[in-house]
């Protein structure tokens, strides 16, 4: 407990975690979100920047497999696909970059969902995986929830000033 925390009193110390909890409703369910401290936000940002290279390579392999397996046929039939030593470029778009964007989005969704406060006592949100989220929510719902979580932890100017 630092001096400022002490100055706010013992009751504050007991309730400081609950002060960081905000709520939003989505389709009849009330979600609770823990607003991250600056150090937690920095850690989330770092995890989002430093993507899992193994997973990135798995996604790239998955995306490029059909192209690589049929390379000769593809080169005969179209000029829209280019093969480099480390990538496949389709109509000017890198499949490696596409794999990176997919992993980046999944990582961002996962990190934001970890901020949800579980209703089950003792459940550790750090144990969830993206596949767990994907199993429960279609991608469009994930995107809506991501936006709602983001707006809840960091309200926009319009919301704080009143629409």
Q: Which residues contact 151 (CB under 8 A, 6 or more apart)?
A: 24, 159
Residue 67: the pLDDT is 94
Q: Is the pLDDT of residue 142 over 70?
A: yes
pTM score of the predicted model: 0.84
In order of 26, 73, 116, 139, 150, the CA distances from 144 in angstroms are: 9, 41, 14, 9, 10
Q: What is the pLDDT of residue 52?
A: 93
Domain spans in the chain, listed from the N-terminal domain onward = 20-154
Quick: pLDDT tens for 83-124: 999 999 999 999 999 999 999 999 999 999 999 999 999 999
- Structure-token match 């964007």, residue found: 101
| Average pLDDT of the chain to the nearest whole number | 91
């Amino acid at each position: 407990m630092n001096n400022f925390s002490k100055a706010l009193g013992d009751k504050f110390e007991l309730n400081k975690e609950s002060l960081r909890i905000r709520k939003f409703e989505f389709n009849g369910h009330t979600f609770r979100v823990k607003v991250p401290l600056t150090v937690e936000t920095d850690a989330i940002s770092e995890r989002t920047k430093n993507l899992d290279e193994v997973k990135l390579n798995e996604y790239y392999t998955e995306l490029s497999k059909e192209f690589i397996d049929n390379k000769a046929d593809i080169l005969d039939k179209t000029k829209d696909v280019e093969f480099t030593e480390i990538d496949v470029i389709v109509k000017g778009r890198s499949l490696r970059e596409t794999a990176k964007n997919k992993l980046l989005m999944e990582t961002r969704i996962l990190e934001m969902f970890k901020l949800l406060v579980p209703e089950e006592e003792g459940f550790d949100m750090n144990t969830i995986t993206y596949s767990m989220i994907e199993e429960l929510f279609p991608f469009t719902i994930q995107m809506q929830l991501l936006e709602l979580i983001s707006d809840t932890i960091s309200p926009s100017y319009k919301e704080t000033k009143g629409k």
